[in-house]
Structure 1
């Protein structure tokens, strides 16, 4: 009998969470350079002008983690990651709207 053990790691992120670039790097297990690429490509939109002033919301932390996972799993460059993330989020928005419409039609 083969026994599999699956390790699941989760982080609960509060919408009100605000983190620095250093904290984001730790939360994502990424480098400053990779996170700066994501900012340059418009994937992440921090508050502040310079990297040492940047602050990221909980939404941005989730977005960064998802983007880095896409890069790693699909071997995408930052521009490809930005496009993939935009398309995934658009699909999620359309599915949410469809669910609302379906609920209204059942009434």
Structure 2
């Protein structure tokens, strides 16, 4: 018998786990880097891969000075 654990994160938890400000998460979502379920930031629910992707996206944005469009292409 196997069981599946599904991890879902709300916006606040994602920001804490990834150490990313909410305005960056909004940019990341708007550019399709991370795709939550829900229509608004208050309703967004992210999967367990989102913190890693968010961290990578912010790192590329800051360290390589890429625009969010470039980050989306790189990831």
Range class of TM-score, shorter chain? 0.7 to 0.9
Partner of residue 58 from structure 1, selected from 27, 45, 48: 48
Q: TM-score, normalised by structure 1?
A: 0.61
Which protein, 1 or 2, shows the higher relative CO under an 8 Å CA cutoff with sep ≥ 6? 2
Partner of residue 21 from structure 1, selected from 11, 32, 50: 11
Counterparts of 1:70-89 in structure 2, within 5 Å, are 70-85=60-75
Structure 1, gaps ≥5 residues long: 1-14, 86-107
Task: Give the aligned length.
Answer: 71
CA distances 1:51-99 after superposition (whole Å, capped 9, x unpaired): 00101001222211211121122111211110111xxxxxxxxxxxxxx
Partners of 2:38 and 2:20 in 1: how far apart?
20
Whose radius of gyration is greater, 1 or 2? Answer: 1
Match of 1:33 in 2: 23
The structure with the largest helix share of the pair is 1
Partners of 2:55 and 2:71 in 1: how far apart?
12
CA distances 1:30-64 after superposition (whole Å, capped 9, x unpaired): 21111101100011100111100101001222211
Q: TM-score, normalised by structure 2?
A: 0.83
Shift of 1:16: 2.8
